[in-house]
């Protein structure tokens, strides 16, 4: 039985039955054999406004959202765009390319944004590699689960910093491929040394189609991020606040890894480690080995 759109809706975001059905019948069906997640759950988690509030909580550790001019790189189905405007009063902008990746995300976003009485013209048909905005335009630039899907993640970082105002904050949340779990496939794995190895692992260890794995930018890890930020910092001074290790340690300590998508698999393992009183020890070992996930890349562009 599918999730009811009315029950999913909150005071900050009306979820329409048509948006829920379209996500379920497209993205949900596509990912069902990869993630081993029911299409109904996939659609509900994708469009759940409470997820947008969870994401805001992580960002607000470093910068308050209220009243800020915010760009989201990869608005997806538009739920963050809606919730953050209605709950935090931001001036929201976003980019989501038409006809790439999840082809219907931009259509679903338009459906939801119009249903919530907001301005759909704030979502631009563009990629993160070529943001259609002037230098120093935004107080906050934010992106979640997008960097691993782009053609040139280094260029996306450079563009994000370019359009950020001096004193502004950039936060990008994405997987770390030196970690041990991939949420796209609900798959445990050793640190990924190449995309070819990742494809091999998904195909032969998990017996799943590696087509989607081939699109993932598996070079993204803490070492890669530090190199990119150091290179950007030669021309645009940055202050790096975190790459997410602290949040990982907190979540491992509390066994609260989230309930979204395939994270239930990981949550059961962390709960077991907590009962065995191994969670803290293993968490610190993972951080030492640069294997925490997700990366929460949070920097300030120095004034």
Three-class DSSP labels, 79-119: HHHHHHHHHHCCEEEEECCCCCCCCCHHHHHHHHHHHCCCC
Q: Compute φ and ψ for 236, nearest 5 degrees.
A: -130, 105
User: What is the pTM for the complete model shown?
Assistant: 0.93
Token reading at 95: 């980019």
CATH placement of domain 5-176+209-251+295-301: 3.40.50.150
User: How far apart are the C-alpha atoms of 49 and 96, rounded to whole Å?
Assistant: 19
In this structure, what DSSP letter does residue 40 have?
A: H
Task: Please give the average per-residue pLDDT across 18-28, as a whole number.
Answer: 92
The model's pLDDT over 181-235, given as tens digits with 9 standing for 90+, comes to 898 988 889 999 999 999 999 999 999 999 999 999 999 999 999 999 999 999 9
More confident residue, 99 or 126: 126
- Give the pLDDT confidence score for residue 252 in this predicted structure: 78
For the chain, which residues make up each domain, given as ranges?
5-176+209-251+295-301
Residue 189 neighbours by CB under 8 Å, 6+ apart: 180, 181, 182, 198, 201, 205
Task: Determine if the peptide bond prior to 40 is cis (ω within 30°).
Answer: no
Which run of H or of E encompasses 34?
helix 29-35
Burial zone of 265 (CB within 10 Å; 0-12 exposed, 13-18 middle, 19+ buried)? middle
Q: Which residues contact 181 (CB under 8 A, 6 or more apart)?
A: 187, 188, 189, 265, 266, 293
Average pLDDT over residues 120-135: 96
pLDDT in tens, 43-95: 999 999 999 999 999 999 999 999 999 999 999 999 999 999 999 999 999 99
pLDDT at 280: 78
pLDDT in the model for residue 17: 95
Task: Place 1 in a pLDDT band, splitting at 50, 70 and 90.
Answer: very low
| Residue 101 confidence class, pLDDT cut points 50, 70, 90 | very low
pLDDT tens-digit map of 108-117: 998 999 999 9
Q: Quick one: which of 172, 152, 266, 284 has its CA closest to 219? A: 152
CA 20, 119, 11, 183: dihedral to nearest 10 degrees? 50
Across the chain, what does the average pLDDT equal?
Answer: 91
Whether 105 has a pLDDT exceeding 90, the answer reads no
Rounded-to-integer distance, Cα 249 and Cα 243, Å: 12
pLDDT score of 260 more than 60: no
Measured CA angle at 232 (ends 230, 234), to 5 deg: 75
For 128, residues 6+ apart whose C-beta sits below 8 A from its C-beta are 73, 74, 95, 143, 146, 147, 150, 155, 156, 159, 160
CA distances from 279 to 186, 254, 286 (A): 20, 9, 10
Minimum mean pLDDT among 48-57, 122-131, 132-141, 270-279: which range? 270-279
Between 98 and 202, the higher pLDDT residue:
202
Q: What pLDDT shows up at residue 276? A: 65
- Closest to 215 measured CA to CA, from 262, 148, 156: 148
């Amino acid at each position: 039985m599918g999730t009811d759109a009315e029950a999913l809706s909150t005071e900050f975001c009306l979820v329409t039955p048509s948006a829920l059905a379209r996500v379920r019948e497209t993205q949900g069906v596509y990912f069902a054999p990869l993630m081993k997640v029911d299409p109904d759950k996939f659609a509900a988690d994708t469009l759940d406004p409470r997820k947008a509030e969870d994401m805001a909580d992580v960002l607000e550790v470093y910068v308050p959202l209220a009243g800020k001019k915010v760009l989201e790189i990869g608005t997806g189905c538009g739920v963050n765009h809606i919730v953050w405007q209605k709950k935090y009063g931001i001036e929201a902008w976003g980019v989501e390319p038409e006809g790439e990746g999840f082809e219907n995300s931009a259509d679903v976003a338009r459906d939801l944004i119009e249903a919530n009485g907001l301005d759909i013209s704030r979502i631009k048909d563009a990629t993160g590699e070529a943001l259609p905005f002037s230098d120093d335009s935004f107080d906050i630039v934010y992106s979640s689960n997008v960097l691993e899907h782009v053609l040139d993640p280094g260029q996306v970082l450079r563009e994000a910093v370019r359009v950020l105002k001096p004193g502004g904050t950039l936060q990008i949340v994405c997987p770390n491929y030196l970690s041990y779990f991939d949420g796209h496939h609900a798959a445990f794995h050793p640190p990924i040394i190449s995309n070819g190895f990742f494809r091999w692992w998904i195909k032969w260890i998990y017996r799943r189609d590696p087509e989607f794995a081939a699109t993932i930018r598996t070079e993204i890890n803490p070492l890669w991020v530090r190199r990119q930020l150091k290179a950007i910092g030669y021309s645009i001074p940055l202050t790096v606040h975190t790459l997410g290790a602290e949040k990982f340690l907190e979540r491992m300590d509390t066994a609260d890894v989230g309930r979204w998508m395939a994270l239930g698999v990981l949550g059961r393992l962390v709960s077991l480690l907590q009962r065995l009183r191994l969670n803290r020890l293993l968490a610190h070992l993972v951080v030492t080995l640069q294997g925490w996930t997700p990366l929460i890349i949070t920097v300030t562009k120095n004034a």
